[in-house]
Structure 1
Amino acid sequence: MDRFSSSVTYCICCFSDDHVKFFCFQVLEHQIKFRHAGLSAVQQQLIRETLMKWLQCQLMNNQPEKPFIRNKAAQVFALTFIMEYLTLWPKFFFDILSLVGLNPHGIDIYLRTLMAIDGEVVDRDILHSPEETRRNTLIKDGMREQCIPHLVESWFQILQTYQQSHPELTCQCLEVVGSYVSWIDLNLIANDRFVNLLLSQLSVEELREEACDCLLEIVNKGMDPVDKTKLVESLCQVLQSAGFFNVEQEEDVDFLAKFSRLVNGMGQSLVLSWTKLAKTGNVKEAADTLQAVEAKVPLLLQLLVHEDDDISANIVGFCYEYLHVLKQLPQLTDQQKSNIEAIMLAVMKKLTYDDEYNFENEGEDEAMFVEYRKQLKMLLDRLAQVSPELLLEAVRRVFTNTMQNWQTAPFMEVEVAIRLLYMLGEALPASHGAHFSGDTAKTSALQDMMRTLVSCSVSSYQHSSVSLEFFETVVRYEKFFLVEPHHIPNVLMAFLDQRGLRHNSPKVRSRVAYLFSRFVKTLHKHMNAFIEDILTRIQDLLELAPPENGFLALLTSDDQLFMFETAGILIVNGESPVERKQALMRSLLLPLMDAFRLLLAKLLQETEEERQAALADCLSHAVGFASRTSKAFSNKQTVKQCGCTEVYRDCMQTFLPALSCPFQRGVLRSSVRSFLHRMIICLEEEVLPFIPAASEHMLKDCEAKDLQEFIPLISQMTAKFKRQVSPFLQQVFMPLVLAIFEVLARPAEENDQAAALEKQMLRRSYFAFIMTIAASGMNEVMANQGAENIERVVFTIIQGAVDFPDPIAQKTCFITLSKLVELWGGKDGMVGFPDFIYKHIVPACFLAPLKPTFDLSDAQTVLTLSECALTLKMIHLKRGPEFIQFLQQEYLPSLQVSPEISQELCQVIQQPDVKVLKNYMKAFFQRAKL
């Protein structure tokens, strides 16, 4: 090691190759980090000498090392400090400072080392073990006692000496001061000479941003509230005297962004001090602190309204908390009301888009403005809590003035006026008329604004942001139209023409398709007179766009889903006679069926894979559109009552042949399966004749995913129709179970996690299916499968309960076992089943929780244990004393359970309170696993 250390010393001091030096520092780092305790005192001394020798070399070199070498060296110095400061090297800092003096290269390493120590010892973002936390506390205590005043003096000397000649070193030093101030004695820094030096650096272009950050760290230091107020106030006085509060005269926006963070920190610190003082009843000090907060509001407003959004965003926290203070006051002064109005006007101004915002191709700048707008919305919401009347009146004034001149106003003014109206909906409590109900005096302001919005023709404004805001606001306040329905026709036309669904912006068209569906859902009762006119006008938007026509559709297929749902709602909820509803629904769905047949025929003849995929997508859309129309039906307006059963049966007949298509099976099966789910809900028993053929197709050439998605369909049908589907279920039960077994038995590569997850999900689906059958009361479905098959299935449930470490599947299996015991475990149950209970079900209830993988600290596993307990309870219910005797005399002794514990468990099982049994079982198995 001695020879090795000499070689390292030579390499890092004399070699010119940076990569060799870096490697040598990495070697030293490894020795210190992982082998330090095993090194002899001589070897440890050699490492110290190596580092100091390298540092000495730096002082003599004219050319400093590359930054990456200096950073690595600082890291090694810091690690050595952490290992040795408390024991072997208490004079670490004194040795370094006496060596480097005021040499710039040496000072650079010293400052980098301090930052590296901060990262290892102080940084709260780094997780430390309890042992490391104790060590770090001891290091900080030792530093406070032995060297912090000397370090602070060295920082002052560096800041004073190098602010002109080496601004980069000064900035580094400011960063060090900012990092250390949180845990050292504040008086060492917050004194006249230090603060004056920092303030002087606020006027030096290269230093001012770092000086601002440093002052912010000083302000953020945890302190007594009265002392904090004094500190902030003295700092503010000096800053104000030096002219820093004259924000309008400052042209350096980067500095102002830092300065606004400093002001924000000072403001938030004062608010926190006021909160603490108010809580503890210090009336005078709280009043003084509130006065200090109020004095900062003019500066807050200058920064909040600044044209640079970063500067404005940095002050939002203080503004928000100031409003929170006002909210808590029993009464507001005129000045405070004036402040609220000024903040409102600032927020309204800053919500406005600028000319450069790119609406059609939003990038990073646009995303940042959207986030900034969210912060402003928080302020608006808080303003509404402080003074809803003031906010309502301010918005009304801006909105009314803008709407009077919307034709000549810039788009950003029009957009923000409507946006403010929109934002009132969330900001104002319902008692202030947000829902157009209650006291007409309160609702009148919102109602007036909505009336103006829908009648002043602003929907014709030629800018996408205004168009979007118009429709968003119309839908936000859709209840307005319940009060004044005579405005509906005008708004409908705006939705349907070039202002909405036919707007030249795809973004607007897409959003309007969704908003139109919401508008119609709420107000369909007021649209009866326009239903057929609307359906005629949107007919071309409901056409299926075949993949080969090259025509760019106005709406995407996702947008068309909303249009089909809207059309369905209009037809179903209209007041037309049943025959008319039937005709309208057929004319809506027939084009989809015709297109589907043509496209399916093309797909069957297509050989090119890319074209097959495009055709399959189109077929999938057709099924999806038809499915979406069925969302319009309800318990009050069923498919049958509307006379639409036949047209949906026709859809079924049209779509089902796609299940046997050999190409693109995944896409086609998925869409048809989703349609069948909807039809089970809507068509009721009319769907049943289609299920056997659909099932046969879907069980052919199955993959795990196919089966996993098919099982919920069968389960849904079982739960809904029960006895009606019993013959079909008896027929399909074993083919389905065997298909599942076959897929689960297929070999898969050991590391194929996707395949393993698919099998796990299929297993869960299978167990859920058996549970549904057992719980549906259709005893005959499983009972008629033959003894061998029943045994095979029930064994898989036992296996699922015990062998697979999947608590979700295990819980399902225990629920199923409990149900089977209930069905077949009584005196008149299935022949031979009681014997099966004792041989297999009872052992499962004990073997599963005893498995090492059965984690009793996991919430899902505890739920499984509860079901396990309920299974034992059900066995006792069905078999009575015979079961208790079996446990006490045969089974529990076989597990080496003592007679006392056996008796205790049996007594708990016989108690009527199931909760007692669940708790006992948990304790029983926790003891057993010790």
Structure 2
Amino acid sequence: MDHIEEAVACALSPTADPALKQQATQYCEQVKASPDGWQSCLTLYIREPKSTPETRMFCLQVVEEVLMTRTNTLDEARLDYFRQTFMDYIQREFVNNGVDNTLSSEPSYLKNKFAHAVALLFRQTYMKSWTTFFSDMLSLIAPQPQSTGNSNMKMVDLFLRILMSIDEEVVNTLISRTSSKEENTLNINIKDRMREQDVPRLANVWYELLTEYKDRSLDFAEMLLRIVGVYVSWIDISLIVNERFVTLIYSFLMTTSIRNAAADCLTDIIKKGMKPLDKLQLIGILGIVEVLQQLDISSDSEFREKIARLVNNLGLQLCQIWNDTNPQTNSSYPPTANPTAYTHISHLVPILLQFLRDDDNNVTEAVFGFLREILNIFKVIKKTTGSLPQEQKVLLRQILESIVMKMKYGEDMDWVCVAIAGGSESVGTIGEDSIGDDEMLDFLEMRRELKRFYDQIATLSASLTTTFLHSAVTSTLTTFVNEKATGSAGSSDWRDLELALYLLYLYGEAIKGVPQFAVGAPTVGANGGKIVHPVPQAGAPLTPLGECLFEMCKSGVSAYPHPSVSANFFEIACRYANFFEIRPDCIPEVLEAFVDARGLHHPISANRTRAWYLFWRFSKDLKLKLTPYLETVLNSIQDVLTVEASLPGALNPGFDLSTFKDQVFETKTYLFEAVGLLISQECIPAQQQFEYLTVVVSPFLSEIQKSLEACRSIQQSSNGTIQDNMTVVAGTPRYHDLELVWTLHHRLMALGSIAKGFPDMLNNKKAAANAAATGSSGPCAQIFKQVAEITLVALETLSRFEVIRSASRFTFGRLINCLGQDVQPYLPTLITGLLQECSVMELVEFLPFMGQVAHKFKTTIMSILNGLFFPLVQKVFFFLNQVPNGTDEAMALVELRKSYLTFLMGLFSSELENVLITDMNGQHLGLILQSVLHYAQDLSDIPVSRMAFGILLKAVNSWGSQGESSGAAAAAAHANGKSGLSNGSSGSGNGGDGTDDKLEAPGFYQFMYEHILRITFEVPMKANFDLQDGQSVLVLGEIAGLQKAIALKQGDTFLSYLSQVYLPSIHCPPDLTQEYIQALQQLDAKQFKKYFQ
């Protein structure tokens, strides 16, 4: 035992020699694992004088482990040894040692650990050798001869801990256990015997001890109430719910220091699983509502939360009873049961409303479950009766009033700019992970939950919701207008205005369908169809929603000096943008607010950036209506149309400019795009568009030119990363270089964003007609050509910087739309510059860009694409042939495979597949097709395999036709073992630029027979091809379609080859071969796919 003490002390010592510490730990583990180590530890634990607490804790851990995991090694003798040793120790430590009004000097964690060990022994012996467990324990609790007549406090303390441990080991269903079937049966049997033999006596003892300790020790009384709460779930409820016990518990609700525990105990009683009618009777007996009405809970928020949880659980139980006894779904219950349950619910609602309005959010949230179920009951009533009765409407309005009241910001809370809608709509706001105030986060989450209840109420009664919100919004705005008229507008509470605007934002959600802002006479569609609501004309009478919006715009509320008000003002203007189609006279008030310090110039960054995004949305929805104000708008925001590129003050080693994010600027690109949207309206004369665009773009062109001149001095070795161990700080030349490049990136992105606002020239019929008539793309095109030229200069100068390559690709992606065919001369230089030093992920993003070019220009881009195609493919193969270094690189290569195949698929879809078989590229066709073939057979990525088979299908449809003699030659060549398509296949006879529609793919026919046909049979037969997987089934469909396509293109030649050569070569039986050929020949594509699967 001395060794155990020394080992524990050494193992836990922070100053011990590491080698000795390891030896000590190993020794302790040996003691735990040894067959008889527990005996030494048990002896050491009960020894007098006592060992150190750390040693005794270790000893109990060893004892616990034996009683928990090695019970098969404990025979009756050893279990009896445990029992006798435990009881002797209890007698000595908790009964004989000391007077009865003091607690044991043992640390609480040791008492808990010992109580747990006793509970484990109880579990092993109660059904066999220790059936008198509770009698033995209770006899030690009884007053001793030398006592004052009170129970033994030390023993009560231990016994209560043992009872809690018994609950954890035997009863509690919330504790995860890995019990066997036998152990579960044992637990059930223990509970059954306890219920029959000991629980009635325990319940009496609990009552007696509660009566004693309510005056002697409130801590013990609180522990007793917890025990009653956990045991009541499985014992006879009448042992607890009787006059003397319930009266005692209710009395505790009046005692400040113990009332929280009493409330929890009542909650546990209410939650006890019972049949509906029994539970209804229990609730009637308890009369909780009457008791709660007598309580003063105003001064203690923690107690209010406890009572709120009690009310919530009581309400949930009543709602469940109401649902179970609903005569519409279950007629087996007495007819009085359902209305009785609803009567209890209605009596509980006033208390629910009180808690919903509570200043403490935790109290409010505690009753959300009950509220949700009440609304569900109203939904059932409405569905049953067709409409809500008046009684429910009254309650519904009271609930709505309480919800709205709780949506208001608290007096001690500060507002932060978080978008009302959340999610993707939160562009330009402070992210919730950036809000440091936990209370604010909790409030925002609670507000979202309240909003869900609002949605439920709006569904139940849209008219009630509309009437209430209209009144709440207009009354607040009217009060503000009146105060402003008297010169006291500042006296309005921002919380009231914020709430009113928040409600107005939600207003439209109470209206089914598209919000209506003005009254229009409904008309019936053709043939007596659905009622159609026409768009009302300007000046038509406004609906309640329209009235609120008109009042908001004309009230001047956006000028209220609190950021929440203007922020919500803009959110509402964007959500209900169609309102301004009806009342364009309200647009000036909104635009004025947008362009001044309330919006785009707001001093608070979060409000300002959010306004940039919302102005884009407003402009996008109402661009034609805003045209009369364009010049004023541009003059007002010219100072905002600038770029401020900022970097951290110190750039640490590992910093990479290409991965650095400037979220403020990213949001500002919406503002630049909005400017492009407004300038590009067809109703604006071309020359005026040119003048507006010049004013906006010229400063950027000038600044970029200056930046490029300064950039020529940047060291050639610089590429935007800091790879050495030196931190780069502001003011140093290297920092200045990076800042210069970053600023240039932002300016290029700004120009691209402006271009993004312009329409697509290729799809704009009016622009195309003007270009055809004048031979010019228009004045604005000349500006965008300057943008293209300076972008290429920037790319040529700084192509080693990934951010410049990225910005160039982005800008040209937008210029393609603006310039149409005029952009083509710039593409070779652009693509060459982008490919020179691109990374894997850049190539992943570049390939879709090339797909966009191909889709836009189709065959007109063939001559340019012809020269760029294979260098691009070589770059792809260069990366795909590399061994990935780490997970990130592996994922990047997976994405590159997908982008590569998508690019090839896009060429076929854009009728540009001939670029693969020109004189310049035809010799590489075999290499490209082999890569597609490889990915088709690779089942490690099923979607990629499906994509590859899709490309092969496109290739067959494009190049698979030929005359009978050629087909026979192909089949014969394969039958004789000759190779089909090789990497050196000639493209002779094809047009040099691929513009000849009659180009052939030399060798493709042999490739079909030698490779494509083969994998259509081999891939489905692979062991890892899972027909139970949905994606694999789609691949199988592609394969079936591919075989059908070859059959259609090659005809009898293919069918003969299949039946006479290929299928026999893979040992397909003749009868099955004949059946397969007939299916391939006679079934249509859809039928054959089904047959093939």
Global fold match (TM > 0.5): yes
> 1:224-270: per-residue Cα shift (whole Å, max 9, x none)?
333333323333x2452x4x224665422101111111112212222
- Larger mean Cα displacement after TM superposition, 160-169 or 610-619: 160-169
Counterpart for residue 704 of structure 1: 840
The 3-state SS of whatever aligns with 1:312 is helix
Counterpart for residue 189 of structure 2: 142
The code of the aligned residue for 1:810 comes to S
The 3-state SS of whatever aligns with 2:940 is coil
Counterpart for residue 814 of structure 1: 949
Residue 405 of structure 2 is aligned to residue 297 of structure 1: no
Cα offset, 1:561, TM superposition: 1.7
Q: Which structure shows the bigger proportion of residues in helix conformation? A: 1
Distance 1:681 1:99 in 2: 92
Residue 477 of structure 2 is aligned to residue 403 of structure 1: yes
Distance 1:887 1:181 in 2: 77
Counterpart of 1:287 (choices 314, 329, 339) is 339
The 3-state SS of whatever aligns with 2:836 is coil
- Larger mean Cα displacement after TM superposition, 711-720 or 899-908: 899-908
Distance 1:13 1:442 in 2: 90
**Contact 1:856 / 1:862 at 8 angstroms: preserved in 2?**
yes
For structure 1, the residue ranges without an aligned partner over 5 or more in a row are: 923-930
Residue pairs, 1:277-426, within 5 angstroms: 277-278=325-326, 279-281=329-331, 283-327=335-379, 328-329=381-382, 330=385, 335-359=391-415, 363-406=437-480, 407=489, 408-426=491-509
Residue 681 of structure 2 is aligned to residue 625 of structure 1: no
Residue pairs, 1:496-895, within 5 angstroms: 496-545=595-644, 547=646, 556-573=664-681, 575-606=683-714, 608-634=733-759, 635=763, 643-662=779-798, 665-749=801-885, 752-784=886-918, 789-803=924-938, 805-828=940-963, 830-884=1001-1055, 886-887=1057-1058, 891-892=1062-1063
**Contact 2:1047 / 2:1080 at 8 angstroms: preserved in 1?**
yes
The code of the aligned residue for 1:878 comes to K
Distance 1:272 1:369 in 2: 29
> 1:780-811: per-residue Cα shift (whole Å, max 9, x none)?
32223566522222222221122351112111
**Contact 1:638 / 1:682 at 8 angstroms: preserved in 2?**
no
**Contact 2:289 / 2:348 at 8 angstroms: preserved in 1?**
no
Counterpart for residue 200 of structure 1: 251
The code of the aligned residue for 2:545 comes to L
Distance 1:912 1:821 in 2: 19
Q: 1:155/1:185 Cα in 2 relative to 1: closer, same or farther (>3 Å)?
A: closer
Cα offset, 1:508, TM superposition: 2.3
Distance 1:902 1:95 in 2: 85
Distance 2:560 2:513 in 1: 30
Counterpart for residue 927 of structure 1: none
The code of the aligned residue for 1:679 comes to L
- Larger mean Cα displacement after TM superposition, 150-159 or 436-445: 436-445
- Larger mean Cα displacement after TM superposition, 625-634 or 367-376: 625-634
Cα offset, 1:532, TM superposition: 0.2
Residue 324 of structure 2 is aligned to residue 276 of structure 1: yes
The code of the aligned residue for 1:420 comes to L
Task: Please report the TM-score for the alignment, with normalisation by the length of structure 1.
Answer: 0.87
Distance 1:423 1:796 in 2: 55
- Larger mean Cα displacement after TM superposition, 601-610 or 838-847: 601-610
**Contact 2:553 / 2:589 at 8 angstroms: preserved in 1?**
yes
Distance 1:252 1:539 in 2: 57
**Contact 2:799 / 2:834 at 8 angstroms: preserved in 1?**
no
Q: Which has the larger radius of gyration?
A: 2
- Larger mean Cα displacement after TM superposition, 143-152 or 794-803: 143-152
Distance 1:285 1:442 in 2: 51
The 3-state SS of whatever aligns with 1:147 is helix
**Contact 2:462 / 2:511 at 8 angstroms: preserved in 1?**
yes
**Contact 1:876 / 1:883 at 8 angstroms: preserved in 2?**
yes
Residue 173 of structure 2 is aligned to residue 122 of structure 1: yes
Counterpart for residue 211 of structure 1: 262
Cα offset, 1:90, TM superposition: 8.8
Distance 1:887 1:56 in 2: 91
**Contact 1:436 / 1:479 at 8 angstroms: preserved in 2?**
no
Distance 2:270 2:1090 in 1: 53
> 1:743-801: per-residue Cα shift (whole Å, max 9, x none)?
2223444xx11111111211222222223234443343222356652222222222112
Task: Please report the TM-score for the alignment, with normalisation by the length of structure 2.
Answer: 0.75
The code of the aligned residue for 1:801 comes to A
**Contact 1:402 / 1:409 at 8 angstroms: preserved in 2?**
no
Q: 1:609/1:35 Cα in 2 relative to 1: closer, same or farther (>3 Å)?
A: farther
Distance 1:606 1:380 in 2: 59
Distance 1:651 1:797 in 2: 38
Q: 1:817/1:412 Cα in 2 relative to 1: closer, same or farther (>3 Å)?
A: same
Distance 1:769 1:472 in 2: 40
**Contact 2:800 / 2:837 at 8 angstroms: preserved in 1?**
no
> 1:557-593: per-residue Cα shift (whole Å, max 9, x none)?
2342222122122212263211111221222122222
Cα offset, 1:670, TM superposition: 1.7
The 3-state SS of whatever aligns with 1:541 is coil
Residue 47 of structure 2 is aligned to residue 16 of structure 1: no
The code of the aligned residue for 1:349 comes to M
Cα offset, 1:541, TM superposition: 0.7
> 1:208-231: per-residue Cα shift (whole Å, max 9, x none)?
323323332332344433333332
The code of the aligned residue for 1:201 comes to F
Residue 574 of structure 2 is aligned to residue 475 of structure 1: yes
Distance 2:88 2:1008 in 1: 83
The code of the aligned residue for 1:374 comes to R
> 1:826-860: per-residue Cα shift (whole Å, max 9, x none)?
32564443333333223323333344443444333
The code of the aligned residue for 1:219 comes to I
- Larger mean Cα displacement after TM superposition, 529-538 or 136-145: 136-145
The code of the aligned residue for 1:529 comes to P
- Larger mean Cα displacement after TM superposition, 284-293 or 820-829: 820-829
Q: 1:2/1:419 Cα in 2 relative to 1: closer, same or farther (>3 Å)?
A: closer
The code of the aligned residue for 1:872 comes to Q
Cα offset, 1:307, TM superposition: 2.3
**Contact 1:156 / 1:194 at 8 angstroms: preserved in 2?**
no
**Contact 2:840 / 2:892 at 8 angstroms: preserved in 1?**
yes
Distance 1:78 1:841 in 2: 71
Q: 1:374/1:747 Cα in 2 relative to 1: closer, same or farther (>3 Å)?
A: closer
Q: 1:415/1:637 Cα in 2 relative to 1: closer, same or farther (>3 Å)?
A: farther
Q: 1:698/1:470 Cα in 2 relative to 1: closer, same or farther (>3 Å)?
A: closer
Distance 2:947 2:255 in 1: 71
The 3-state SS of whatever aligns with 1:200 is helix
The code of the aligned residue for 2:945 comes to Q
Cα offset, 1:447, TM superposition: 2.7
Q: 1:198/1:345 Cα in 2 relative to 1: closer, same or farther (>3 Å)?
A: same
Counterpart for residue 23 of structure 2: none
Distance 1:97 1:419 in 2: 63
The sequence identity of aligned pairs, in percent, is 27
Root mean square deviation of aligned Cα: 3.8
Cα offset, 1:467, TM superposition: 2.1
**Contact 2:755 / 2:818 at 8 angstroms: preserved in 1?**
yes
**Contact 1:702 / 1:739 at 8 angstroms: preserved in 2?**
no
> 1:193-220: per-residue Cα shift (whole Å, max 9, x none)?
5544433333343433233233323323
Cα offset, 1:137, TM superposition: 5.5
Q: 1:537/1:218 Cα in 2 relative to 1: closer, same or farther (>3 Å)?
A: same
